[in-house]
Structure 1
């Protein structure tokens, strides 16, 4: 079994090396993919999407009915027409990106005081949607030189400047007299591009690199604008662009700019054909900044996260304390208790003179004669054990006084479990997820999967999962044959379709809800077809190949003891050993290891959608400690179960390993009601559905670790 682990690890290392090499050749790696520009060279500005921390629904920027539509004109610096989409990888599509060429023109080194973009006529229906999106706090994402447009902030002590990716679509304010809420659209954009001399010979030839992209917004009313459409003075604005039309069809904000009158919502939404004209304009300023190195230009997006480094260290120390305590308990079990039990067992066998294991006769724990018609096996097939009567009772009771507990289960401990045909595919899928997780953490810790590789984390994760199907088939096939299964092709189909099929079905159902909202979060039909092709045309053959190798070439694992034909009767178990209670209690310990780091992960995924989780070094350390903790908890739990003369440990070890997933899901529920401000049925459905899928993935991964650890432990003590 150890040789199989080493073979699998070597294959995994080669796969990760090849994948890392391909990423290094094709994508951004810090310090390698530097793009420089000459003076007066055009730089394209791309628009992406709008998103909010208060909802899970995202929308493509050009799909909004109240912004300037693309003109379809070709601009210098790009081979695309405005409004044309750039090619996206799978990860970008899955995260809801819709990146297109814009009409905003940027020229290296050339300031532009004001450029008029367009005047957009908006109906009352579209105004209502604009007000709702401003109310939900939607943020816009633009991209220049692969940097997202950011809002600049200063820390409280004024020692550092940091970025928050994106800028507000608009803002809301309370009228001072009426006390009612008013909504305003940001329709003027001041773009500040920070640059510096390019490193190396490129800089000596006059090349410059972009090291910062800031966007400052203003809401400027339609009055006091010049003939070109630009505001007379951007720095002195009298009236903002309010998202409001007077019920009689006139532009009430122009006629009465200082009025505080606000009709009820029912009057605002009357469809009388009235339109509100919203003018859009922008300014561009270039500022040289030698303080920011090109290789560290993303650091400004992470200043806030760096302040939490002490908490990350606290999480690691907390994890080490828990894991260290468990390690001491496991050392005591392995070093003293089990060795003492084995020594006593050997002494009893030698005193008997026959070399056979003797059992202590005790009520409720001895073998019983099966009733008429009763099956004697509980696994895939009825197990045929030793045909000889290995339950002979010695007349010398004194020699058997110490033969108790787990030593009595030598003839039942490797009995195949019920529903083993489901456990084997789950273990295979769990190993598939283990290799995917290890690969992602490894590549992220090296810096290959970084924020500049947009969508790379998801794309590489899907690729690793698909190609790790060979490991899924291998472990599933071996475990299935160990359980006594016969139809390995059926097991292969179940392994390749059970978990991925359930996952795809849930995503497809959720996609129907998102499609109905016309959100960019919805997966296009072509993407769904592509995922199915990856699943059926690549993963399925790989699972088949791995299953064939595990079944035919390597075969089942050999057990150190034979299984008897008659099952022992299991005595009544204490409450803390029974499955639900012991699973929850054991799962609480691994959850205590990761719950501090979970706060940062949840904040990055659910709250700071504009932010990026990047402390993968801390996450890798915590993950290693988590795996060790799960292994130790499983060993302790299974040892206690065996000492209670309960040999049904197969499924129990799997559930104990993944038991912390229950606590993680409960943490998701707590986080939703206490930390988030998500509104709407679809957004809540997406949150709980995605959380459930993440917990299932986590549970499968950890459950597989627990199962394999328990199997190695049981084989060891009975060898």
Structure 2
């Protein structure tokens, strides 16, 4: 009962805090600004929900060019300077550069000219393409992404959607005539209203009048060529209450036309004090919209718990049956050899009392209210089923030299996944730590190479392997090499599109260095210790020299049907949570997935469900006198990955609006890699659970 309460307390601890609370790790300290102090505005990239390609903002040919270098106050930055990025930021496509937009604490600026950019045919067509695909811009102030504010449906809460639109498309009115390929009018946003929300800094800094930034909003606007402008180049009327209200239209051009336009870019800055937002809670506005799905998350958890409870009951019945058959005694040798016919009596009682035996007042042993004939039937059924395989159940599987490295890589991924979910659920990894999730994931994966080598070597030795160095080389290169090869090939396609999603050559070299110079030695260290110092897992029964013939198996016990049926229940546990993850990753990139407390609970239930489904499937297989359970346990455990990939395919066609061959290829490639990672992880859980189960039940019987 105590362990159950402990798990319940842990689940309550992870879920009970509001999922929007973020814990700020020490090196993200509060940055305060005295009045009139410059505040750097950083520009990052543009991205879209309909495309997997991102682009660095200053690489766009129709925006203001990268500014010349000049100091930005006391920040130590220079305009046009590239900001150093961690590995996670580079992998997610960030390209952060300091802009020349001037922000000074508490100083409003009604209008300032940023630049005037001449654009021609190619630039106009490029702008129209990105606007058509709904690209949004990401700017950053004090580690906060620029956002557009909205209110919830009931108008009780305000929330942010990160980014702002590059432009808009005005569709043709119904019945309006247009030429072939005429999609309507394209308007480029060329004026940016920046709103900085601030409050007093905590402690002594606040007493000195210093302020902290608690909100960063950007409201773009399109202002046409016909609007009157003053000597600074700013529109005379920004409010739109007078003037013609003309927008800056990107006129339609065809390739080969020599047409040019000048785009004036301007911006306004307003500082507004807002004491309703605490600095430590300033990210909450980006998560408020997720709170509406809290009830759905709870329903998903209840659904998962019901499924897991049913499985637990079935597995406990199986375990109770095998343990009971073990402690009540065994048939004599003749019954074991014949495997048929009832022989009442003749039970060889164990010395001492069994767990299910009862003692009467006279000291005699009373069987536990079970008729002896029923006991004989059960014992005979057991002897005719899984117990007959005691001489074959630990026979080395085919292609064991491949299974051992896969299990090793699965343990590596399991350690990484558990670490990421726990750190995120505790709030250490949060959106304020830009790129932290990916960076920590890579670090955990690399240093978990010790576990990979250890488990792979022990399983390899259990299979009778002797050349542990060869097995270690396969373990260290098989799965990481496959992932790197896929990423490298995809990178070639993305490079051709000049997208910031492409990994720079230096980053590829760094990844190869981490792989070959850090991970591989760690894998060898773990393998040496596991193979030479610890050794193999000893089998509780001896393996016979002649393999036993396997009878005809039912259709649901064969490879593909067993994998699909075994994976269906774990998929039912997680598919609701997957909907939220997919929505954040693929459908609404302006939001953030930050309900890792729910994910931690669902992941725990998922692991239990996989373990129980695998035990149930392997028990049924052994009762069918099929001792080829090694690969079966791995495939059944990872079977839900097939359903997850099918779910990705359905989501692509039913929910997403991704356009273009390359974006579609990236979607399915990323989905395939994610499902491989998930399948390897869950397959390892299934294998290790089945291994422990088989060792337990065969270690409990006496076989002559």
Task: State the TM-score bracket (shorter-chain normalisation).
Answer: 0.7 to 0.9
Deviations 1:331-381 (A, max 9, x none): 11111x21344357x4313x75xxx9535279xxxxxxxxxxxxxxxxxxx
Alignment of 1:250-265 (within 5 A): none
- Any idea what the Cα deviations from partners look like across 1:116-135, whole Å, max 9, x if unmatched? 01110001111011001000
Is 1:106 equivalent to 2:103 in the alignment?
yes
For residue 195 of structure 1, give the secondary structure of its aligned residue in structure 2.
strand
Distance 1:705 1:664 in 2: 17
* CA–CA distance in structure 2, aligned partners of residues 89 and 607 of structure 1: 26
Taking the aligned partners of 2:209 and 2:378, their CA distance within structure 1 comes to 92
Tell me which of 360, 378, 389 is aligned to 2:339.
Answer: 360
Return structure 1 stretches of 4+ with deviation > 4 angstroms: 175-180, 397-402
Distance 1:399 1:239 in 2: 87
Specify the SS of the correspondent of 1:227. Answer: coil
> Tell me, what secondary structure is at the counterpart of 2:401?
helix
**Equivalent residue number for residue 153 of structure 1:** 150
Unaligned runs of 5+ in 2: 1-22, 342-375, 700-704
Give the deviation of 1:169 after TM superposition: 0.1
Distance (whole Å) between structure 2 residues aligned to residue 121 and residue 604 of structure 1: 37
Deviations 1:94-126 (A, max 9, x none): 000000010101000000000001110001111
Return the offset for 1:28.
Answer: 4.7
For residues 97 and 401 of structure 1, do their structure 2 counterparts lie closer, same or farther at Cα, with a shift above 3 Å needed?
closer
Q: Equivalent residue of 1:297, what SS?
A: helix
Q: Deviations over 1:230-264 (max 9, x none)?
A: 0010112521000116xxxxxxxxxxxxxxxxxxx
Give the one of 311, 319, 323 matched to 2:308. 323
CA deviation after TM superposition for structure 1 residue 154, in Å: 1.6
What's the counterpart of residue 190 of structure 2?
A: 187
CA distance in 1, matches of 2:678, 2:72: 48
What CA distance in whole angstroms lies between the structure 1 residues aligned with 2:670 and 2:171?
Answer: 36
Which of 289, 294, 299 matches 2:274?
A: 289
1:445-484 alignment, distance < 5 Å: 445-484=425-464
| Conserved 8 A contact 1:514-1:521 | yes
The answer for the alignment partner of 1:22 in structure 2 is: none
- What is the SS of the residue equivalent to 1:539? helix
Deviation at 1:608, TM superposition (A): 1.8
Counterpart Cα distance in 1 of 2:259 and 2:377: 101
Give, in whole Å, the separation in 2 of the partners of 1:696 and 1:358. 45
1:347 matched to 2:347? The reply is no
Query: What's the CA shift for 1:146?
Result: 0.2
Partners of 2:24 and 2:427 within 8 A in 1: no
Q: Secondary structure at the match of 1:513?
A: helix
1:32 deviation in Å? 6.2
Partner of 1:200: 203
3-state DSSP class of the match of 1:358? helix
User: For each residue in 1:644-702, what CA deviation from the matched residue of structure 2 results, as whole angstroms up to 9, or x when unmatched?
Assistant: 00000000000000000000000000000000000000000000000000000000000
Counterparts in 2 of 1:32-43, with a 5 A limit?
33-43=29-39
Q: Distance in 2 between matches of 1:117 and 1:222?
A: 16
In the other structure, the counterpart of 1:505 is 485
SS in 1 for 2:194: strand
Q: Which residue of 2 aligns with 1:547?
A: 527
* Deviation at residue 79 of structure 1 after TM alignment: 2.8
Pair 1:432-2:412 in alignment: yes
SS of structure 2 residue aligned to 1:209: strand
Q: Give per-residue Cα distances to partners, 1:56-105, cap 9 Å, x unaligned.
A: 00000000000001221314234333222100000000000000010101
- Scaled by the length of structure 2, the TM-score of the pair is 0.87
Give the one of 674, 678, 685 matched to 1:694: 674
Deviations 1:434-463 (A, max 9, x none): 100111111111111010100000000000
Conserved 8 A contact 2:72-2:79: no
Question: Aligned partners of 2:387 and 2:689: how far apart in 1?
Answer: 19
CA distance in 2, matches of 1:575, 1:161: 56
Distance 2:162 2:292 in 1: 18
What's the Cα RMSD here? 1.8
Is 2:230 the partner of 1:226? yes
SS of the counterpart of 1:514?
Answer: helix
Question: How far apart are the structure 2 equivalents of 1:347 and 1:171?
Answer: 79
Q: Do the aligned partners of 1:43 and 1:144 also contact (CA within 8 Å) in 2?
A: yes
Residues 116 and 282, structure 1, Cα contact 8 Å, conserved in 2: yes
Which runs of structure 2 are paired with 1:229-244 in the superposition (5 Å)?
229-236=233-240, 238-244=245-251
Aligned to 2:263, the other structure's residue is in SS state strand
Say whether the 8 Å CA contact 1:75–1:103 is kept in structure 2: no
